Amino acid sequence: MEEEQKKKEKKKKEQGPLRRILITVAYDGTNYHGFQKQNSGAVTIEGVLNDTLTNVFKEPIEVIGASRTDTGVHAYGNLAVFDTHSRIEAEKVPYALNRSLPEDIRVLCGEEVPLDFHPRKCDTIKTYEYRIYNAPFNLPQKRLYSYWTYAKLDVEKMQRATGYFIGTHDFASFCSAGTQTPTTVRTLYELTVETDDPFDSEDDPEAPVCRDIVIRVSGSGFLYNMVRIIAGTLMEVGKGRIEPEQIADIIEARDREAAGPTAPPEGLTLVGYEITGKA
């Protein structure tokens, strides 16, 4: 009993004023049911972060995440904040957490932010990457972080299609049906398609290719499944089923049915955030 009392007093001394810490989180989403905590008991990134923080700091902690990535989607730099009475230096937080986190989640950075900083209520530029492995057979070492297709994609056509997406548009055609959102207008700053083995019209069209194709997109924000629907639509362009010029009409349609399919989650990685200001 006395021991218990001493411990409590010691803890009180160690505690400081409430502070908000912003962490950058990388994860392999393969074995998680997405970022967001679920009541079903399914394992999520948020759930593991909450449990680990609560254990490490010995106080009940719940993070607020910037992006609720879907099941199987990866991140190099998702953001989350949490509040703590601990006096730990923010820069030491990654070391403290990484010792206890499973190896498919890593905290790469920690910094103190004002208590009213909210990662979903500030102006940001968000960047995603969609990786495609385009080869006759999948490569085991790429299977977890790329979407594999043997259909030879015309990268040059995909590149020509990107221009139509740039700027501020109503992206209702690129939002999963039934999503509740005040507006489907979003701004895309950049959309590129790159490959380590570009299509060359002088090459034998029957010759197999073994290449990575990376779609990279930056914007002010994204609708539900928007990046995966853009990737799925660009792949339809690469297969010759949609012409680059048709993208303008697809956007104009404001109809999910007009766009291509939602590309599978394993190819998608949330690359990171640039915080540009408070909303």
Task: Provide the binding-site residues for a copy of itself, judged by CB under 8 A.
Answer: 26-28, 74, 76, 94, 98, 103-108, 136-141, 143-145, 269
Q: Of 116, 126, 147, 148, whose CA–CA distance to 135 is shortest?
A: 148
Q: Would you say 18 or 139 has its CB closer to a copy of itself?
A: 139
Measured distance CA(74)–CA(108) in Å, rounded: 15
Q: Of 227, 234, 159, 221, whose CA–CA distance to 187 is shortest?
A: 221
- 273 by DSSP, 3-state: which? strand
CA angle 204, 209, 215 (to 5 degrees): 120
Question: Within 10 A of 245 (CB to CB), how many other CB atoms are there?
Answer: 11
Residue 131: CB minimum distance to a copy of itself, A: 10
Provide the H-helix boundaries in 58-183: 93-98, 155-162
| Rg of the chain in Å (alpha carbons) | 22
Measured distance CA(206)–CA(197) in Å, rounded: 15
Q: Would you say 236 or 266 has its CB closer to a copy of itself?
A: 266
Q: Would you say 106 or 211 has its CB closer to a copy of itself?
A: 106
Residue 207: CB minimum distance to a copy of itself, A: 14
Residue 108: CB minimum distance to a copy of itself, A: 5
Which residue's entry shows tokens 């010029």? 245
* Residues taking part in catalysis: 70
Residue 129: CB minimum distance to a copy of itself, A: 11
Q: How many CA atoms lie within 13 A of 9 on its CB side?
A: 6
Q: Would you say 93 or 213 has its CB closer to a copy of itself?
A: 93
Q: Of 221, 247, 218, 245, whose CA–CA distance to 232 is shortest?
A: 247
Residue 28: CB minimum distance to a copy of itself, A: 4
For the chain, the first-to-last Cα distance in angstroms comes to 50
